[in-house]
């Protein structure tokens, strides 16, 4: 059995003090949850305050990106060591908004993924097809390529340490959710691809989250699917009660 993992991707929302307050609110609502991994991923500037609020609780801290280099002339980037020093243990890599607006490619995803793994951070690697790709019948090709190229040169042991988030781009922030059947089909495809690039045992262990307009009303039916092991939540993670309700739907 894979432990479900529910992570909040706060994107560019919340100031440091708002972040601390939101973590406090979440903590109070989920303090009795022991069987779901809970992660919040605030903006970099909030991490220190969020870390203080998360300390000693069942809420872990993630970042939204990580540099591929250890240090040096990379203006605007944040290294894995910087994140670790703050108490960060997870990091989102290759979110579709990074791919769409900031030039991320499967190659940069691969480099960042290697840096995260080398530092002992748990990567949450995002993949997902665009609407026009789905409509053109290219979903499978796109997803398999993102997984194979994003995970290139990784050992089976390294792949086992990752979390993958399947986020159909057409479902992110749109209110349009993939149906449980549509999502399950892609999650199974991702798991088959992992079996190909690593092995069946590793493929069976990697958690694959669904993301894209997941909310309390649809979380359970999605996470009840055999290959859906949690969620990466955007909008509904910005309020303690809706995020907590999604976590409880994973129980």
Exactly one of 79, 184, 209, 213 binds ligand PGA (CB under 6 A); that residue is 213
Site string for ligand PGA, 151-170 (x = CB under 6 A): ----------------x---
Rounded least distance, CB 7 to ligand PGA, Å: 8
Is 135 a known active-site residue?
Answer: no
128 counts as binding ligand PGA under rule CB under 6 A: no
139 counts as binding ligand PGA under rule CB under 6 A: no
Rounded least distance, CB 159 to ligand PGA, Å: 21
Residue-by-residue DSSP string for the chain: -PPEEEEEE--S---HHHHHHHHHHHHHHHTT--SEEEEEE--GGGHHHHHHHHTTSSEEEEES---SSSSSS-TT---HHHHHHTT--EEEES-HHHHHHS---HHHHHHHHHHHHHTT-EEEEEE---HHHHHTT-HHHHHHHHHHHHTTT--HHHHHT-EEEE--GGGTTTS-PPPHHHHHHHHHHHHHHHHHHS-HHHHHHSEEEEESS--HHHHHHHHTSTT--EEEESGGGSSHHHHHHHHHHT-
234 counts as binding ligand PGA under rule CB under 6 A: yes
173 counts as binding ligand PGA under rule CB under 6 A: yes
Sole window of 75-83, 105-113, 152-160, 231-239 interacting with ligand PGA (rule: CB under 6 A): 231-239
104 counts as binding ligand PGA under rule CB under 6 A: no
Chain position carrying tokens 């991490």: 47
172 counts as binding ligand PGA under rule CB under 6 A: yes
Sole window of 47-55, 109-117, 131-139, 205-213 interacting with ligand PGA (rule: CB under 6 A): 205-213
The C-alpha angle 63, 64, 65, rounded to 5 degrees, equals 100
Is 167 a known active-site residue?
Answer: yes
Sole window of 64-72, 79-87, 200-208, 209-217 interacting with ligand PGA (rule: CB under 6 A): 209-217
Tell me the C-alpha distance between 79 and 247, whole Å. Answer: 29
Rounded least distance, CB 230 to ligand PGA, Å: 12
> Which residue, 5 or 198, is less far from ligand PGA as judged by CB?
5
Give how many residues touch ligand PGA by CB under 6 A: 13
Q: Left, alpha or beta for 38 (phi > 0: left; psi -120 to 50: alpha)?
A: beta
Known catalytic residues are: 95, 167
Which residues sit at the interface with ligand PGA, rule CB under 6 A?
A: 9, 167, 172-173, 211-214, 232-236
């Amino acid at each position: 059995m894979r432990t479900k993992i529910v992570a909040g991707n706060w994107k560019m929302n919340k100031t440091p003090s708002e972040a601390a307050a939101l973590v406090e609110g979440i903590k109070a609502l989920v303090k009795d949850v022991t069987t779901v991994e809970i992660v919040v991923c605030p903006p970099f500037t909030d991490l220190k305050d969020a870390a203080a609020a998360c300390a000693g609780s069942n809420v872990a801290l993630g970042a939204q990106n990580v540099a591929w280099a250890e240090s040096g002339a990379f203006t605007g980037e944040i290294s894995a060591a910087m994140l670790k020093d703050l108490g960060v243990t997870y990091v989102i890599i290759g979110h579709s908004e990074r791919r769409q607006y900031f030039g991320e490619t499967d190659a940069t995803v691969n480099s960042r993924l290697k840096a995260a793994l080398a530092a002992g951070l748990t990567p949450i690697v995002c993949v997902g097809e665009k609407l026009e790709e789905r409509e053109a019948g290219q979903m499978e090709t796109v997803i398999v390529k993102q997984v194979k190229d994003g995970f290139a040169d990784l050992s089976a042991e390294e792949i086992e340490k990752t979390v993958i988030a399947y986020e159909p781009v057409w479902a992110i922030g749109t209110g349009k959710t993939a149906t449980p059947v549509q999502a399950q089909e892609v999650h199974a495809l991702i798991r088959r691809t992992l079996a190909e690039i690593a092995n069946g045992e590793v493929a069976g262990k990697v958690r694959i989250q669904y993301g894209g307009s997941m909310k309390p009303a649809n979380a359970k039916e999605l996470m009840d699917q055999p290959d859906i092991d949690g969620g990466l939540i955007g909008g509904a993670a910005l309020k303690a009660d809706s995020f907590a309700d999604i976590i409880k739907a994973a129980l």
